[in-house]
Amino acid sequence: KSGFVSIVGRPNVGKSTLLNHIVGQKIAIMSNKPQTTRNKITAVYTTEEGQVIFLDTPGIHKPKSKLGDYMVSVAENTLNEVDLVLFVIDATEKRGAGDEYIIDRLKQVKTPVFLVINKIDKVHPEALLPIIDEYRQLYEFKAIIPISAMEGNNTGSLVQAIFDEM
């Protein structure tokens, strides 16, 4: 099995932490420089089951310029070309314009999307249900997976679900 997975989400939701946790080493994150490259590979995860290639997808935010418009269209094309999108949110933060913008973009692609609710180590389990309800009404996610990227809670299930989708 092998496939391409794009990780999207607002800044600071824990995308890099998740990649580092899955891949396990510092090799996950090549740099913090602004990224302009299309389909930048940030991590490759290999097991006996197969290989998952994680891609950074820049530009999933409201464009402020013509160049921004272009970047967004590039990002949308990328979302169409991958096998799976992980949309990461922060369980401790209210839904914001940044999330809505991403959801609008996701609605324009056919690729399956997992909602990854991160930082569950910081919230009570009961707090997850309203979040799940809220997001379910906005988009038909293929799966909704609560995790703590930092502590590794449920990240094994996420990886398994990713492989199941390939």
The CA distance from 98 to 60, in Å, is 9
Which residues are known binding-site members?
9-16, 56-60, 118-121
Helix, coil or strand: residue 23: helix
DSSP 106-144: HTT--S-EEEEEE-GGGS-GGGHHHHHHHHHTT---SEE
DSSP 65-106: SHHHHHHHHHHHHHHHHSSEEEEEEETTS---HHHHHHHHHH
The yes or no reply on residue 16 touching Mg ion (CB under 5 A) is yes
Which residues are known binding-site members for GTP?
9-16, 56-60, 118-121
The yes or no reply on residue 78 touching Mg ion (CB under 5 A) is no
The yes or no reply on residue 157 touching ligand GDP (CB under 6 A) is no
Segment lying near ligand GDP (by CB under 6 A), choices 43-51, 99-107, 142-150, 156-164: 142-150
The yes or no reply on residue 17 touching Mg ion (CB under 5 A) is no
Mask 87-126, x = binds ligand GDP (CB under 6 A)? -------------------------------xx-xx----
The yes or no reply on residue 34 touching ligand GDP (CB under 6 A) is no
User: Residue 49 or residue 93: which is nearer to Mg ion going by CB?
Assistant: 93
Residues 12-31 that bind ligand GDP (CB under 6 A): 12-17
Place of tokens 């794009």: 6
The CA distance from 115 to 113, in Å, is 6
Helix, coil or strand: residue 155: helix
Amino acid at 57: T
Segment lying near ligand GDP (by CB under 6 A), choices 11-19, 49-57, 73-81, 124-132: 11-19
Task: Name the closest residue to ligand GDP (Cβ).
Answer: 14
The yes or no reply on residue 61 touching ligand GDP (CB under 6 A) is no
